[in-house]
Chains A and B, each alone.
Chain A
Amino acid sequence: MSMAEFFRMGGYAGYVWSCYGLTLVVLLGNLWFARRELDSQVLRATRRTQASASETSGSGPLGRAS
């Protein structure tokens, strides 16, 4: 079977390829959005940790490290 025949899918090319394309979009999209959400949560958690760490280890009112 030639490449051209393969892509034609017996005349059903539009249907078959749009389905596979949709599948790819949905799967990649879910993957990407899940990763993006995780990264943003990690960033916020890291920032929160650093903020509270600098609070506790920062200099006291007399300019000395507590």
Chain B
Amino acid sequence: MWLWFYKLASPPYAYAVAGKLRPWLLWSAIALMIVAAYGGLVIAPPDYQQKDAFRIIYVHVPAATMSLSVYVVLAVAAGIGVIWRIKLAHAVAAACAPIGAWFTVLALATGSIWGKPMWGTWWEWDPRLTSELIQLFLYLGYMALRSSFDDTQRADRASAILAIVGVVNVPVVKYSVIWWNSLHQGPSISKLGAPSITSDMLWPLLTMMLAFMLYFAAVLCDRIRSEILKRERNASWLSSVMSTRGAEA
């Protein structure tokens, strides 16, 4: 089992595995998304307070969860890259960033749209939205730092430090934002996602969250392969793989 992990750290093996895994991940993600969407939009009964508007939960909460999880994956990968000096781990971290940032944008947009019928305003400084916003800043800062270095190695290691500092900061941020918000009376229909949730409402949410995770893994496969190709430009394994591709094409 550990041998498999060691093999995975080698770029040619990872490149091949990512290529093979992607279709499985993508199609299962799509299947689960369809099932979850059907469950969320059709089967789940309307909420007592929020009526049908609560159905936004089925895209907002998975997006928000992913935005945080992807950041943790990014920071762990960066940490592995820095501690054990595994270049592939840095590639994983770089590949995660744009996907995570888009999840964050989606969480903010859907959260804002959900807020309008619930609170009457397009924006509220409630704990979840505020910490999502700060999360977006963390992603943008990471990507900005990466792009400010020409040398990939330095970019990898500098952004790894930023990611580790950031991930330590995330619980502090979350706690401080919740604390900050608790000092004031929240709006009457309080936080997003607060409807008392029956099992009919719950399973589509869990299914959609799983679907989003599989989707993330599928997109990550493509992005990792791009990163590997960019970083391994002159490696010999690359030429043999590419020439067989050329022969096929």
Residues of chain A whose beta carbon lies under 8 Å from any beta carbon of chain B = 1, 6, 9-12, 15-16, 18-20, 22-23, 26-27, 29-31, 34-35, 37-38, 41-42, 44-46, 48-50, 52-53
Closest 7 CB pairs of A and B: A10-B52, A34-B222, A49-B242, A41-B229, A12-B53, A9-B52, A23-B59
**B109 nearest CB neighbor, chain A only:** A22
Is chain A's interface secondary structure helix, strand, loop, or mixed overall?
A: helix
A12 to B225, CA, bound (A): 41
Chain B hits for A12, CB < 8 A: 51-53, 117
A-B pairs with CB below 8 Å: how many?
106
A53 to B215, CA, bound (A): 37
A50 to B223, CA, bound (A): 24
Q: Is B238 on the interface with A (CB-CB < 8 A)?
A: yes
The answer to whether A31 and B110 touch (CB under 8 A), given A10-B46, A16-B53, is no
> Which of B60, B114, B219, B229 is the one whose CB lies under 8 Å from A45?
B229
Q: Is B56 on the interface with A (CB-CB < 8 A)?
A: yes
> Which of A30, A41, A46, A53 is the one whose CB lies under 8 Å from B219?
A30
Chain A hits for B110, CB < 8 A: 19, 22-23
Q: Is B226 on the interface with A (CB-CB < 8 A)?
A: yes
Count class of interface residues, chain B: 35 or more
A29 to B63, CA, bound (A): 15
Interface string of B74-116 (1 = CB under 8 A from A): 0000000000000000000000001100110110011001101
Chain B hits for A31, CB < 8 A: 26, 215, 218-219, 222
The answer to whether A26 and B51 touch (CB under 8 A), given A37-B226, A42-B229, A49-B246, is no
13 other A-B residue contacts (CB within 8 Å) besides A19-B56, A30-B99, A30-B219: A9-B52, A22-B106, A22-B109, A23-B59, A23-B106, A23-B110, A29-B102, A30-B98, A37-B226, A38-B222, A41-B230, A46-B242, A49-B238
A40 to B136, CA, bound (A): 28
Chain B hits for A10, CB < 8 A: 46, 51-53
Is chain B's interface secondary structure helix, strand, loop, or mixed overall?
A: helix
Q: Is B55 on the interface with A (CB-CB < 8 A)?
A: yes
Give the Cβ gap from A27 to chain B, nearest Cβ, in Å: 6
Chain A hits for B52, CB < 8 A: 9-12, 16
Chain B hits for A29, CB < 8 A: 102
Verify A23–B63 contact, CB threshold 8 A: yes
**A44 nearest CB neighbor, chain B only:** B229
A49 to B114, CA, bound (A): 51
Q: Is B3 on the interface with A (CB-CB < 8 A)?
A: no
Verify B222–A42 contact, CB threshold 8 A: no
Give the Cβ gap from B41 to chain A, nearest Cβ, in Å: 8
Chain B hits for A11, CB < 8 A: 51-52
